[in-house]
């Protein structure tokens, strides 16, 4: 059965800290892994990863995929209060998308 596991489930840090969010998966016919940020309502797209070892960066956020060990990490450096959100990891097998439960990140001033 396909599954996506995120850790930790919840994380509280202070502004300026660096955080690493984890996503491990077991799916058949892996196609891609996506990271989303969900604040008040709908998730917004962050990254899509298809190849191992290639880091994707967007400002203070970066992510990398390891297809051999079946996991991905999302790094956020110099965190800000605006980074507080739920971060969702999703994996695309066939015509489907499987989400993890998410990591709730709280950044305190």
Partner 1 sequence: NAGVTQTPKFQVLKTGQSMTLQCAQDMNHEYMSWYRQDPGMGLRLIHYSVGAGITDQGEVPNGYNVSRSTTEDFPLRLLSAAPSQTSVYFCASSYSFGWVYGYTFGSGTRLTVV
Neighbours of 36 (CB within 10 A): 18
With respect to partner 1, which residue has the nearer C-beta, 9 or 78?
9
| CA atoms of 68 and 33, how far apart (whole Å) | 14
Q: If binding is defined by CB under 8 A, does position 74 make contact with partner 1?
A: no
* Whether the Cβ atoms of residue 12 and residue 83 lie closer than 8 Å to each other: no
Q: Which tokens sit at 39?
A: 């604040």
Q: If binding is defined by CB under 8 A, does position 70 make contact with partner 1?
A: no
| CA atoms of 75 and 101, how far apart (whole Å) | 18
For partner 1, the binding residue among 17, 30, 84, 92 (CB under 8 A) is 92
Q: If binding is defined by CB under 8 A, does position 101 make contact with partner 1?
A: yes
For partner 1, the binding residue among 72, 102, 105, 107 (CB under 8 A) is 102
For partner 1, the binding residue among 4, 64, 74, 76 (CB under 8 A) is 4
Q: If binding is defined by CB under 8 A, does position 27 make contact with partner 1?
A: no
Give the β-pairing of 56-58 and 10-14: unpaired
* Whether the Cβ atoms of residue 100 and residue 88 lie closer than 8 Å to each other: yes
User: Which residues of this chain interact with partner 1, rule CB under 8 A?
Assistant: 4, 6, 9, 31-32, 34, 36, 41-45, 48, 88, 90, 92, 95-102
């Amino acid at each position: 059965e396909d599954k996506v596991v995120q850790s930790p489930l919840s994380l509280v840090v202070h502004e300026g800290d660096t955080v690493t969010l984890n996503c491990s998966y077991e799916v058949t016919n892996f196609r891609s892994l996506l990271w989303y940020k969900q604040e008040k309502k709908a998730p917004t797209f962050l990254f899509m990863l298809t190849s191992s070892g290639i880091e994707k960066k967007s400002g203070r956020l970066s992510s990398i995929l390891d297809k051999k060990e079946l996991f991905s990490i999302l790094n956020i450096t110099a965190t800000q209060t605006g980074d507080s959100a739920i971060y969702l990891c999703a994996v695309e097998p066939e015509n489907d998308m499987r989400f993890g439960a998410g990591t709730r990140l709280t950044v305190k001033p």
